[in-house]
Chain A
Amino acid sequence: MNDIYIITTASLVASSCALLGCFLILRKMAMVGDAISHAVLPGIVIAFLISGSRDSITMLIGAGLIGILTTFLIEFFHKKAKLQTDASIGVTFTWLFAVGVVLISLFAGKVDLDQDCVLYGEIAYVPIDILIINNESFGPRALYIMSAILFAIILFIYIGYKELFLTTFDPAYASAIGISTSLWHYLLMSAVSLTTVASFESVGAILVVALLIAPAATAYLLTDNFKLMLVIACLAGIAASVTGYYVAVWLDSSIAGSIAMMAGVIFTFTLIFSPSHGLISKRLKATIG
């Protein structure tokens, strides 16, 4: 039963991340996910210090707010200070992450948190953290949180599909016909913050970053249809979760690490063998053409 819990949780995280990742890579903002996942650390610590509890909702709010602040700061440095996007991402998240580290060490006695847990997470503990209501056990808590997040993201993309699609492809035209690009930018970034924060509690920030980018990049190499890209990205993420888990069991190694590694393996495999964009098919086309 434990393997099922772990694999399901990982797949839920992978699907949420993959869906958002498709938008991120097409907006050339893949590294924003990386930035958010690190920058939310002070938000978690502050939320913990204020509320004194480590329950997920408080953390989600604290981290979510900092996540949005992060994207705001990145935009601000880029637009107002005319800094390059990559530079403004680099400045923003390292700084916020450092603030989080300082806060943790300052309040080390009071805070039951550490950087390792935030960065690496431990998906193997998912089955231990059980949701209990009235002495009745309902299975792992992470399962419920991640299902809710995935549902929210699917709903968000379903409702805002047109707007997200257009503001990603051609923001100038979107503004010209009255669709607010910054509104959809911040909505998408809020969704990324929320997913990142909810996910890394169970699986760790590094796995979240890997799952935000690798499955979406894999799907990008396989299709020219955006809706199909969303579906393929989810499947690639789920495939990485399942294979990664068994690789971890086989090698007796870190589950999150193995899943991230498998996401990379699947991407590399696609890069070489993809029928449309793969290295082999391109070489073949070049020789024939």
Chain B
Amino acid sequence: MEKEISITPALEIHDLTVAFDRKPVLWNIDLKLPQGKLVGIIGPNGAGKSTLIKAVMGLLPLSSGFAKLFDQDLNDIRTRVSYVPQRESVDWDFPASVLDVVLMGRYGKLGLFNRPRKADRDAAMDCLKQVGMEQYAHRQISQLSGGQQQRTFLARALAQQADIYFMDEPFAGVDAATEKAIIELLRNMTQANKTVIVVHHDLQSVPQYFDWVILLNTRLIACGPTASTFTQSNLQETYGGKLTLLSDVGDLIKRESFPNREGSAKQAL
């Protein structure tokens, strides 16, 4: 594990604690992530998965500890960090077109006083092409389906041309075909040495999707390559009491067969 992080880690978290009203949501997190990996953050509801990425991006106050990206302070490398918030976090009835939203990805680099130029528009169109949404560029965002909204957000993150991407449940409410297209895109990004960190819910698809996993339940349970970290004992520790269904998941992992995605294990979680 140490060998894989010989170069600068994409993300290093040290002693991180986040509390709301004195109640810790994240407790003493310590971890390092290598560059160019597709990383899944796994854990039960309320485990602090979204809180972890928000804390790292400075959207929430930290009670203690720090996070470094590429060995630097967040504020020094803001333009290299991108974020895909949860789809429900914005009002999709907002008077904006798909292209307007994707262009927001260029704002960080433009700075105050500069308006988006043709080069920015071209870059935004190119990102829409990558997510297969170019024909929707001028569509009003309220007319999009859930999957199209998600792809619009993804295109916006791509338009930022960052090096590390934090995504909060990009597969929530997305159909199977879109999910496949998105994971393909994320794979291509990691091949270009981008680091992609994804909050994920569906245990069955974890071994298929992710190179690394972070198992989280307020404290860090485990962090490492999926093959060695996504084990039944770690999962049991992460999900605590809800074990009967986890043994089902464990069986699935052992057999490496991933039949029906909407299987009983997921629903019960």
Chain A interface (Cβ within 8 Å of chain B)? 26, 159-163, 165-166, 168-170, 172-173, 175-179, 220, 223-226, 228-229
Quick one: closest A residue to B77, CB to CB?
A178
Within 8 A of A (CB), among B76-93: 78-79, 81-83, 85, 89-91
**What residues of chain B have their CB less than 8 Å away from a CB belonging to chain A?**
54, 57-59, 75, 78-79, 81-83, 85, 89-91, 94-97, 100-101, 104, 107-108, 110, 112-113, 115-116, 140, 142, 156, 160, 166
Contact, CB under 8 Å: A224 / B108: no
Chain A interface mostly helix, strand, loop or mixed? helix
The answer to whether A225 and B97 touch (CB under 8 A), given A162-B107, A170-B90, A172-B85, is: yes
Contact B107 A163 (CB under 8 A): yes
B91 surroundings in chain A (CB, below 8 A): 26, 169
Contact B58 A175 (CB under 8 A): yes
Bound complex: CA of A162 vs CA of B112, how far in Å?
8
Which residues in B have their C-beta under 8 angstroms from that of A170?
85, 89-90, 104
User: A172: nearest residue on chain B (CB-CB)?
Assistant: B85
Distance A26 CA – B93 CA, assembled complex (angstroms): 9
Asked whether, in the complex, the Cβ of A163 is within 8 Å of the Cβ of B112, the reply is yes
- Interface pair A177/B79, CB less than 8 Å apart: yes
Q: A138 CA to B107 CA in the complex, in Å?
A: 44
Is B78 a contact of A172 with CB atoms below 8 Å? no
A180 to chain B, nearest CB (A): 11
Q: Which residues of A contact B54 (CB under 8 A)?
A: 172
Would A166 and B107 count as touching, CB distance under 8 A?
yes
Give the docked Cα–Cα distance between A160 and B115 (Å).
10
Decide: A160 and B112 in contact? CB cutoff 8 A.
Answer: yes
Residues A172 and B95 in contact, CB atoms below 8 Å apart: no
Q: Is the CB of A177 within 8 A of B78?
A: yes
Residue of A nearest to B110 (CB): A162
Q: For the complex, what is the distance from the CA of A220 to the CA of B96, rounded to whole Å?
A: 11
Residues on B with C-beta less than 8 A from A166 are: 104, 107
